[in-house]
Amino acid sequence: MTDATPGYADLHEHLESLKKAGLLLTIDRAIDKDAELHPLVRWQFVGGIEEHERRAFLFTRVVDGRGRDYKFPVVVGAFAGNAAIYSIGMRTPVEEIQARWDRALANPIAPRIVESAACQEVVITGDALKGEGNGLDRLPIPISTPGFDSAPTLTATNVITRDPETGVQNHGTYRAGLKAPDRMVIRMATRIGGAGGYRHYLKHQGRGDKVMPCAIALGCPPCVAYVAPMKLPLDVDEIGVAGGLAGEPIRVVRGKTVDLLVPAEAEIVIEGLIDTEYLEPEGPFGESHGHIALEEFNMPMRVTAITHRRNAIVASYLSQVTPSESSAIKRVSYEPMFLAHLRNTLGIRAVKRVKLHERLTAIRRVIIVTMEKGAPRSEIWRALYGASSFKADCGKICIAVNEDIDPDNSDAIFWALAFRMDPATDLQVLPYRSAGHGPEREHESEREDATLLMDATMKEELPPLALPKQEYMERAKKIWEELGLPKLRPQSPWCSAPTGDWLPQWEEAAKRAAQGRYLENGEISEKLRRKGVKPETKFRPDE
């Protein structure tokens, strides 16, 4: 393997793979990045389209609200428009993603420093960064939430900073709102203990440094892009974990104006200095918790260089109200991580699946734990405790259900809560939880919340679900389609099965009824008449 031919895919190669898989939609007509681009992609998340039908959108002709044309295309949804896109980026089947992350975390591979890189084919510095149409103003950065956002904002970022004491670099996905051709304001969202970049900022302040070097990489190779939003343990060098995902060292190059190592195959790198003394109002901006984040003081960065490939593509994440691309990035990787924690680390073998509810809940707040039927009550509660405490920002509400409940169907969850949970015995509230990322204005690290745990599993054998058996529903579906009626999108549950409290005698009676032989059932029941019983007294033909 040579420096010129890494084994991992860059963004261009990744898009080719998506195209071959039928997961890339190319839009060649003019699209306004300020008013049309993100809303167009948003429709595949709010328009009733199934997840597997979502695509990455590549816009080849981008204009702004004033009609200006841009040189660079823009891609949205290319990293995690759905699970299949994420899987292609990881170069591994969805069911093997957790094992890939486990190996990468356990066996990071240090990066390889190179002298020349694709991300520095074009270098812009000095006066070329200033003035309208130059610097950041040359880049077609979309407005994420038209009608509310106050500026184009970088979203698909690997924001790179370095610990001034240890020298360890951090890659984080933070938003950066454009303010001038050579200035932006970055929100390094805090988390429990402080986000990595924010901790570096505080250390620079403590040392009396007036500025903090920073580099923002856009359009990184997928294996590099995926590590930035993962919230890996603090002081872990994400680029080493990216190497673990790739199975080889990630090529990095030293910045042109800052002493930081940046991914050599990135599309665009913005270098600069973050002011550690002054803060500047930034926002409003539509945040991933699903509300508009109002103006707040954040960190201004003076741009010292922009470097890029000659054929660079601008990558943008669709975030805001979930489901979204940014929520799918976490969901696809977090769900197997939670399952492995409960089954392998805690040894709760009765856990069959963990689902992070995504729609409108930013995947952090609601967790559905699917338990094997008949699991001991103690194991159900161990699973709920384990799920709620595994990650500080996930699992405010944890619900245990059985395998007959589809965790992707909110109505099915409500059904389980309505008929299988006794609030007096199947509900617990645990105090002292961090509130985490949310729309409230109070500083996140200063707010507390609580955890709600609910056992909505079956406590006894229940009769089958009151829907026709699968064979009859499928038979009717063929007739529906022959009649040319509207396209069906089956909602689980759409059929029932003879499981639970269901006797062979009842199965045979149902079969006779479906064959038009109900009179035979009447002859059988007539022979079983009794005196001296009250109406609605239960009867079982096996007793």
> Tokens representing 58?
């590549």
Burial class (CB in 10 A: 0-12, 13-18, 19+), 53: exposed
Give the dihedral sign, CA 146/152/158/161.
negative
Q: Is 521 helix (H, G, I), strand (E, B) or coil?
A: helix
Rounded-to-integer distance, Cα 180 and Cα 132, Å? 8
Share of the chain above pLDDT 70, in %: 95
Convert the pLDDT of each residue in 175-188 to its tens digit.
999 999 999 999 98
Asked if 192 and 287 touch (Cβ cutoff 8 Å), the reply is no
Neighbours of 91 (CB within 10 A): 17
Q: What is the mean pLDDT of the chain?
A: 90
Convert the pLDDT of each residue in 64-98 to its tens digit.
999 999 999 999 999 988 889 999 999 999 889 88
Q: In this structure, what are the phi and psi dihedrals at residue 272, rounded to the nearest 5 degrees?
A: 180, -175
What's the distance, CA 252 to chain centroid?
A: 27
**128: pLDDT strictly greater than 90:** yes
Convert the pLDDT of each residue in 103-115 to its tens digit.
998 899 999 999 9
User: Which position has the token pair 């550690």?
Assistant: 276
Which one, of 273, 258, 78, 114, lies nearest residue 183 by Cα? Answer: 273
In the chain, the N- to C-terminal Cα span, in Å, equals: 74
Q: What is the pLDDT of residue 319?
A: 79
Q: What is the pLDDT of residue 458?
A: 93
Q: What is the pLDDT of residue 481?
A: 93
Q: What is the pLDDT of residue 2?
A: 41
| Domains recognised in the chain with CATH numbers | 11-316 (2.30.110.10), 346-455 (3.40.1670.10), 470-526 (no CATH)
pLDDT band at 217 (very low <50, low <70, confident <90, very high): very high
Convert the pLDDT of each residue in 374-428 to its tens digit.
999 999 999 999 999 988 778 899 999 999 899 988 889 999 999 999 999 999 9
Rounded-to-integer distance, Cα 171 and Cα 193, Å? 16
pLDDT band at 508 (very low <50, low <70, confident <90, very high): very high
What are the b/e assignments for 522-541, b being 16+ CB within 10 Å? eeeeeeeeeeeeeeeeeeee
Q: What is the mean pLDDT of residues 15-42?
A: 95
User: Which position has the token pair 């390889």?
Assistant: 112
Instruction: Fill in the DSSP letter of residue 435.
Output: -
Between strands 314-316 and 153-154, the pairing is unpaired
Q: What is the mean pLDDT of residues 136-143?
A: 95
> Tokens representing 181?
């051709």
Angle between helices 83-90 and 11-20 (to 10 degrees): 130
Rounded-to-integer distance, Cα 186 and Cα 183, Å? 10
Burial class (CB in 10 A: 0-12, 13-18, 19+), 81: buried
Convert the pLDDT of each residue in 431-490 to its tens digit.
887 666 566 655 555 567 899 999 999 998 888 888 899 999 999 999 999 999 888 888
Asked if 199 and 159 touch (Cβ cutoff 8 Å), the reply is no
Instruction: Fill in the DSSP letter of residue 141.
Output: P
Query: What is the SS3 string spanning 349-379?
Result: CCEEEEEECCCCCCCCCEEEEEECCCCCHHH
Rounded-to-integer distance, Cα 480 and Cα 492, Å? 18
Q: What is the mean pLDDT of residues 476-505?
A: 89
Q: What is the pLDDT of residue 293?
A: 81
pLDDT band at 1 (very low <50, low <70, confident <90, very high): very low
Please report which residue ranges of 343-469 form alpha helices under DSSP H: 377-389, 410-420
Rounded-to-integer distance, Cα 10 and Cα 87, Å? 15
Q: What is the pLDDT of residue 50?
A: 84
Question: Which one has a higher pLDDT value, 279 or 229?
Answer: 279
Q: What is the pLDDT of residue 295?
A: 87
Which value, in Å, is the radius of gyration of the alpha carbons in the chain?
Answer: 27
- Cβ within 8 Å of residue 150, ≥6 positions away: 177, 283, 284, 285, 295
pTM listed for this prediction? 0.83
**373: pLDDT strictly greater than 50:** yes
Convert the pLDDT of each residue in 149-174 to its tens digit.
899 999 999 999 999 999 999 999 99
